[in-house]
Amino acid sequence: MSGMNEIILEAKGIYKSFSGVPVLQDVHFDVRKGEVHALMGENGAGKSTLIKIITGVYSKDAGTIEWEGKPVEINNYQDCQKLGVACIYQELSVIPPLTVAQNVFLGREPRTFGLIDYAKMNRMTQELIDRYQFPLHPATLVENLGMGQRQLIEILKGLSQNSKLLIMDEPTASLSGKEAETLFHIIETLRSEGVSVIYISHRLEEVYRLSDRLTILRDGQNAAVLNREEIVPKKVIATMIGKIVDESAGSKKMLHSDDTAPVRLEVKDLTDPADRYRHISFQVHRGEILGLGGLIGAGRTEVVRAIYGVDKAKSGEVILDGQKMNPSPKTSIAAGIGFVPEDRRSQGFIPLLSTTRNIALTNYDIIRKKGAAVSYADELAMSKKAIKDIDIRPADPDKEVGVMSGGNQQKVVLGKWLMRDLKLLIVDEPTAGIDVGAKNEIYEILENLAKQGVAIILVSSDLQELIRVSHRILVMRKGDVVKEFKNEIVTQSRVLSAGQGILDEEEAQA
């Protein structure tokens, strides 16, 4: 244990703000040699920003970074690699048509007489594989491997460059249970070999299992550094949310839902072909806002996409107003289902088109036609109505949506659905990256819709938002609905705990 306390990386007094908004304030973070150091925090707590500063993607406003006791400047990823830091990207950077060995030694292939020595390269890769016990073979083509194994190649690549510190950002997000288990095993081997790991995760049980220490960030500040024996679920959750949790608005609410209202949507036994969710059944009543909580990757987005029909479920039924649906975007739109997707910019609207065109896009079936052409007067009237109804700014129907603020872009996306006779509206992370003022306006739009009898499914990772807007909350975890909060007092920590798989004791008895 003696060598274990040597600090390999230390970030001191890190400040960073984006356009005047502080994101990191006096953050301290250190990693010891041969430790797995977890980094946790809610969305927006500053984890990614901190990592991006360490890897040289962002520059820091103030503070120092020390590597093995010496101050260093990291300005780009190459600097980082030179020091011996490897980042395992969420979005994988392996090259599918090449072999495992070719990927590991890309750009550094061993050569004899100028030609790549494949035998030697495969042998070197095999040595690494044997040393860290990776379930890989050097000559396999990467395109034949699953996501988990591709991730292992990235790790192997880092190790082949003698990296002393690996940074893993949500490494299990796209892995199956077995793949994750393999990864954990490998992380443990790395630790015993003296490699340090920064492990960013939302999943408490992973952090609990793997980490030697845990740094928790909250609102861009250090909330706590916990040693292994201090990593207790309740304590971690309380630290992440903050002590003042119970006083702050929107962190606690009495839920009310009206079961007597007619059922608008019934989902029966919905199961995913790729097993990202299974046997999902629930109902949404008229005028009800159903919140879907849980961690990122719990399968919430996949469920709502299947209800809307963008992706197909393997089995199960979707019943809208007693009518069995055969979900596809076209039939869903016709039946009165609206869908506001998670990734606004790439799925929600078309940046180069005007407000008018974006709003008209899903509504051409209800816009009058003049012969073969569309009535522009009608398009414009619809656009003006949307601008007025939900206060889209700038109030210019011809403005390209791409140049508008995030909040107004989202209003345009919502606006196109509001022009229809909606029965059910699905919103997935509707306020991600939107300022507070616009958030409130969007909540009001949702609440007004509910009052008019529209059923709403809200997927949100923002606990405050989930609790504030929802009438009833379902929490998903690893593809199952694990908890329902209904007509009871709900707090952020109860929702977060349920998402982590920790159910209340009193609930467990009931």
Residue type, 455: A
| Count of residues in contact with another protein, rule CB under 8 A | 39
By the rule CB under 8 A, 184 interacts with another protein: no
C-alpha distances (whole Å) from 495 to each of 207, 292, 472 are: 19, 10, 12
CA distance 464 to 311: 29
* Least distance between another protein and beta carbon 245 (Å): 36
**What is the C-alpha to C-alpha distance for residues 218 and 203, in angstroms, rounded to an integer?**
16
Q: Which is nearer to another protein, 471 or 477 (CB)?
A: 477
Question: Which residue in 35, 42, 169, 179 binds another protein (CB under 8 A)?
Answer: 179
Identify which range of 108-116, 165-173, 212-220, 479-487 contacts another protein by CB under 8 A.
108-116
Contact region with another protein (CB under 8 A), list: 2-10, 176-184, 204-212, 420-428: 176-184
Closest CA to 185 of 152, 163, 212: 152
Q: Does 144 bind another protein (CB under 8 A)?
A: yes
Of 274 and 366, nearer to another protein (C-beta) is 274
* Residue among 109, 219, 389, 480 that touches another protein (CB under 8 A): 109
Cα separation, 499 vs 473, in Å, equals 12
416 contact partners, CB below 8 Å, separation of at least 6: 358, 359, 360, 361, 362, 363, 386
Can you tell me the distance from the alpha carbon of 168 to that of 24, in angstroms, rounded to the nearest whole number?
20
Residue 312 near another protein by CB under 8 A: no
For the bound state, the minimum distance from the C-beta of residue 279 to another protein, rounded and expressed in Å, comes to 16
In whole angstroms, how close is the CB of 96 to another protein at the nearest point? Answer: 6
Q: Is 162 in the site for another protein (CB under 8 A)?
A: no
Alpha helices in 348-405 (DSSP H): 355-361, 376-390
Positive/negative CA dihedral, 47, 53, 179, 189: negative
| 336 φ/ψ sector (left φ>0, alpha ψ -120 to 50, else beta) | left
Q: Does 77 bind another protein (CB under 8 A)?
A: yes
- Output the smallest distance, CB 125 to another protein, in A: 14
For 373, the token pair is 């052409």
146 binds another protein (CB under 8 A): yes
Does residue number 175 form part of the binding site for another protein (CB under 8 A)?
yes
- Within 219-278, which residues bind another protein (CB under 8 A)? 274-275
Query: And the tokens for 314?
Result: 């393997």
Q: Which is nearer to another protein, 187 or 231 (CB)?
A: 187
Amino acid 402 reads G
The helix/strand/coil state of 420 is coil
Closer by beta carbon to another protein, 143 or else 258 = 143
For 195, how many CA atoms within 13 A lie in the half-sphere containing its CB?
A: 27
Q: Does 141 bind another protein (CB under 8 A)?
A: yes
- CB of residue 87 to another protein, shortest distance in Å: 9
**What mask, x for binding another protein by CB under 8 A, covers residues 281 to 310?**
------------------------------
Contacts to another protein from residues 78-107, by CB under 8 A: 78, 81, 89, 92-99, 102, 106-107
- For residue 82, list its beta bridge partners: none
279 binds another protein (CB under 8 A): no
365, exposed or middle or buried, with CB in 10 Å at 0-12, 13-18, 19+? Answer: exposed
List b or e across 489-510, with b for residues whose CB sees 16 or more CB atoms inside 10 angstroms: ebbbbbbbbbbbbbeeeeeeee
Of 48-56, 170-178, 194-202, 359-367, the window that binds another protein (rule: CB under 8 A) is 170-178
Nearer residue to another protein within complex by CB, 233 or 501: 501
Candidates 177, 262, 394, 433; binder of another protein (CB under 8 A) is 177
Closest contact distance (angstroms) between CB of 55 and another protein is: 11
Partners of 65 in the beta sheet? 11, 72
CA neighbor of 405 nearest in space, from 433, 426, 385, 379: 433
- Select 19 or 112, whichever has its Cβ closest to another protein: 112
- For the chain, the C-alpha Rg in angstroms (whole number) is 25
Q: Does 115 bind another protein (CB under 8 A)?
A: yes
Q: Which is nearer to another protein, 133 or 487 (CB)?
A: 133
Phi and psi (nearest 5°) for 487?
Answer: 45, 50
**Does 119 sit near another protein (CB under 8 A)?**
no
- The span from the first CA to the last CA of the chain, in angstroms, equals 46
Binding piece for another protein, criterion CB under 8 A, among 146-154, 222-230, 367-375, 461-469: 146-154
Q: Does 57 bind another protein (CB under 8 A)?
A: no
Q: Which of 148, 287, 316, 327 is in the footprint of another protein by CB under 8 A?
A: 148
Q: Which is nearer to another protein, 38 or 152 (CB)?
A: 152
**By the criterion CB under 8 A, which residues form the site for another protein?**
77-78, 81, 89, 92-99, 102, 106-107, 109, 111, 114-116, 118, 139-141, 143-149, 157, 175-179, 274-275
